[in-house]
Amino acid sequence: MSLILQGLALGVLTGGLYALLASGLSLYFGVMRVVMVAHPAFLFLAAYLTYTVHTAFGVDPFLALPVTVPVFFVLGVAVQRLLVARLAPDNLAMMSVLLTFGLALTIEGLLGTFYTGSYRSISMEYATRSLTVGGVSLPYDRIIAFAVAALTLGVLFAVLVKSRFGRALRATIQHPEAARLVGIPTERVAGYGFGVGLATAAVGGTVLALITPFFPASHWVWIGKLMAIIVVGGLGSVVGAALAAVLLGVVEGVVLVTVDATWATMMFYVFVFLTLLARPQGFFGGRLAHRF
Amino acid sequence: MRIASRGLPLLLAALAIAYPWLVPNYYLVYAGALTVMYAAMATSWNLLGGFTGYVSLGHSAFFGLGAYGTGLLVTRLGVPWVVALVVSAVLVTAFAAGVGVAAVRVRGASFVIVSIALVSMMNLVVQGWRSLTGGSTGLQVPSPFPGLHRGQTHMVFFYAFLALLALALLVWWYVSRSRFGAGLRAIREDEDKAESLGVPTGAYKVTAFCLSALFVALAGGLYALWFGSLDPIFVFSILIGSYMVLMSLLGGVRHLFGPLLGALIVAPAGEYFLIALGETQIHLTATGLVLVLVVLFMPDGILARLTRRRAGPSIPDQSADQRLQEVTP
């Protein structure tokens, strides 16, 4: 029983991180109807940059964020304005997947060339201990990851709901033509949406670097996991993605402690196929998801 | 014109058959066999991707399953290799039918995601099922021709892959002229309209999916017999799937010889990169950049560009002003 509890607790903590990592994907899909396969590759780019900052200057990995977040924001705007916006609109969904897939390969190749293929990790002294609550031990690194993810998601939601930019962004997501009619520069907003999405990847990458060892090809596993989350949640639904992230995180955690790691990862794909058979548009996807 | 369009493929076929006798060393025979294998796989990928517009990045799942199926049948059950090849391809096709029913329920980007999920899943299964597949250490398959040395084996498999390529091209050509092919094209142009006109879209899509999986599985089986050792990480890599997509897009998905042309460019380039740049990962970057460039600037492929230029645009390329001048007295 305590094993199940342990799995549940770890699952919730990991699920929070998944929610942050998947939120960027929901944003891209919302503003441009683009499935950004390169998102996990950018995550690991951020992880490697954090690693470089950490080893070169010996500072806390989170101090890399003031550098990586703006850089990734600009990168995101550039990716949208220079690449995605240039695709022909009639086959955007497919072509954007291939385009971002090409980007992912490019990044993986560069990471492999500069950092070699061996495992890297950042271990901080404070992250190695764990907190024990009622027989369940929670590693501090997971708690930190969850807290950072929750904080970032909170800021993201606040920006989306409260700010003028957030309103423009949501209008662009809901109905681009109507948004343009009322004077929203939808192209620029879409660019900033990409920037915000990639900025979440910068945060996520730093957190990932703290909790798990990584190597250039590790983004493939994450493509599968994150895509599974947004398919189960329903493409384009930020809330759906967050709920699916926690759900799949918990399922993964429980299977991980009761069966093994292979089956834990497998659960993501099992859920994808179950979702497709039961409800192809995802469990929280509405109008948007239906056509995709 | 007609002689040129009929004669050119015949000339190329003759060249392809003569190729192993024309090149100076066995390495080039090996590279040729690899290229023809990719050409056969890209052509079979195009049975789905070209006709229906459903882009699958996960066709390496069928390649790997075909390879492992053949390898396991030969090593565990001692089945003759021809039987193993055919049985495993049929099994993979049946599996593809099951997957296809779920996968083609979603369109566009979701379908791509599902195809990526499929290959990741198969990779996990094969690596995890250690007792059957040997896990991540791989599977050793005995050579079907123990009497031949390495170079002669390359030659045999060059012709085997060439036969497979011919078969895939023939099937593509046949489908493209059939009612079935017209239905698939209708799905690509507008699936909802096609369905409302009575095209059995679901059945057609699953059939195309299976047909395309069948030939990729055969290529995988031949690969297993040829290489003799299977590495799950390579065989089930998304990279192989993306090669099929890249080759088809580069050559032109709407043309019979498009994927073949793409393979003739991409596969030798890949081999060259491997030799020139060695064991670094920079060849991934090269592949990625080429894919980005093709998607941005030539999504219809080389052949589409060439043929359009030769035939001339169907609507003359002129400004509205010029056209207005023609109609005003």
Give residue-wise pLDDT tens across range B131-161.
777 777 778 888 777 777 878 888 889 999 9
Least confident of A281-290, B109-118, B142-151, B220-229: A281-290
Q: Nearest chain B Cα to A100, which residue?
A: B292
- Look at residue B162 in the predicted model and tell me its pLDDT: 92
Which amino acid would we find at residue A119?
Y
Cβ contact, residue pair A269, B118, below 8 Å:
yes
pLDDT average, residue stretch B50-75: 90
* Residue B312 pLDDT level (bands cut at 50, 70, 90): very low
Strand B139-140, strand B229-230: pairing: antiparallel
Asked if the model's pLDDT at residue A97 lies above 80, the reply is yes
Confidence of residue B320 (pLDDT cuts 50, 70, 90): low
Dihedral of CA atoms A74, A78, A84, A88 in degrees, nearest 10, equals 150
How many CB atoms are located within 10 Å of the residue A131 CB? 11
Rounded Cα gap, residues A84 and A104, in angstroms:
14
- What share of chain B has pLDDT > 90, as a percent? 23
Output DSSP code: residue B318.
Answer: -
Higher pLDDT, B102 or A193: A193
Exposure string (b/e) for B153-171, b if CB count within 10 Å is 16 or more? bbbbbbebbbebbeebbeb
CATH of the domain at A127: 1.10.3470
* A268 → chain B, closest CA residue: B117
- Rounded CA-CA distance B243/B250 in Å is 10
What tokens were used for B83? 């039987």
Q: Which residue of B has its CA nearest to A231?
A: B110
Nearest Cβ partner for B285 among A93, A105, A231: A105
How confident is the model over B274-290, as a mean pLDDT?
Answer: 79
Q: Distance (Å, rounded) from C-alpha B183 to C-alpha B187? A: 6
> Across the interface, do B281 and A111 touch by the CB < 8 Å criterion?
yes
Residue of A105, A117, A292 with shortest CB distance to B109: A292
Q: Taking residues B188-216, what's their average pLDDT? A: 90
Contact status, residue A65 vs residue A203, Cβ threshold 8 Å: yes
| pLDDT tens-digit series, residues A226-273 | 888 888 887 777 778 888 898 999 898 888 888 888 888 888 888 888
Domain with A57 in it: 2-290
Residue B229 three-state SS: strand
The beta-carbon neighbor of A216 closest among B117, B281, B292 is: B281
Contact state of B292 with A103 under an 8 Å Cβ cutoff:
yes
Number of domains in chain A: 1
Give the phi and the psi of residue B230 in degrees, each rounded to 5.
-110, 130
The pLDDT of residue A102 is above 80: yes
Q: In a mutagenesis test of the B interface, which of A276, A277, A288 is the best target, namely the one with the most B β-carbons within 10 Å?
A: A276
Q: What is the pLDDT of residues B20-57, one digit of tens each?
A: 888 888 888 888 999 999 999 999 999 998 888 888 88
Q: Which residue has the higher pLDDT, B314 or B233?
A: B233
d(CA A168, CA A183): 10
Share of chain B above pLDDT 70, in %: 91
Q: Identify the pLDDT of residue B160.
A: 92
More confident residue, A132 or A12: A12
Instruction: Enumerate the β-bridge partners of residue B140.
Output: B229
In the predicted structure, residue B74 carries a pLDDT above the cut 70: yes
Q: Give the pLDDT of residue A285.
A: 61
Contact in structure between B204 and B183 (CB atoms under 8 Å): yes
A223 contacts B114? CB cut-off 8 A = no
Global pTM? 0.84
Residues in chain B closer than 8 A to A268 (CB atoms):
117
ipTM of the complex model: 0.83
> Nearest CA of chain A to the CA of B175: how many Å?
23
Alpha-carbon distance of B142 to B109, in angstroms, equals 40
pLDDT category, B279, cuts 50, 70, 90? low
- Which H or E run contains B282? helix B282-297
Cβ of A113 within 8 Å of Cβ of B289? The answer is no
Q: A102 and B112 in contact by Cβ < 8 A?
A: no
pLDDT for position B92 = 94
pLDDT of residue A141: 81
Between chains, do B108 and A94 touch, taking CB under 8 Å as contact? Answer: yes
Q: Using CB atoms, pick whichever of A37, A102, A216 lies closest to residue B289.
A: A102
Of the candidate CATH numbers 3.40.50, 1.10.132, 1.20.1510, 1.10.3470, the domain formed by B2-313 belongs to 1.10.3470
The DSSP string of chain A is: -HHHHHHHHHHHHHHHHHHHHHHHHHHHHHHH----TTHHHHHHHHHHHHHHHHHHH---GGGGHHHHHHHHHHHHHHIIIIIGGGS-GGGHHHHHHHHHHHHHHHHHHHHHHHH-SS-B----GGGS-EEEETTEEEEHHHHHHHHHHHHHHHHHHHHHHHSHHHHHHHHHHH-HHHHHHTT--HHHHHHHHHHHHHHHHHHHHHHHHHHS-B-GGGHHHHHHHHHHHHHHH-TT-HHHHHHHHHHHHHHHHHHHHHS-HHHHHHHHHHHHHHHHHH-TT-SS--HHHHT-
> In terms of CA atoms, which chain B residue is nearest residue A117?
B281
B102, B124, B295 ranked by CB distance to A266: nearest: B124
Cβ contacts of B128 on chain A, cutoff 8 Å: 260, 262-263, 266
The domain limits of chain B are 2-313
Angle at the Cα of B211 from the Cα atoms of B207 and B212, rounded to 5 degrees: 115
Which chain A residue shows the shortest CA-CA distance from B245?
A98
DSSP state of B257: T
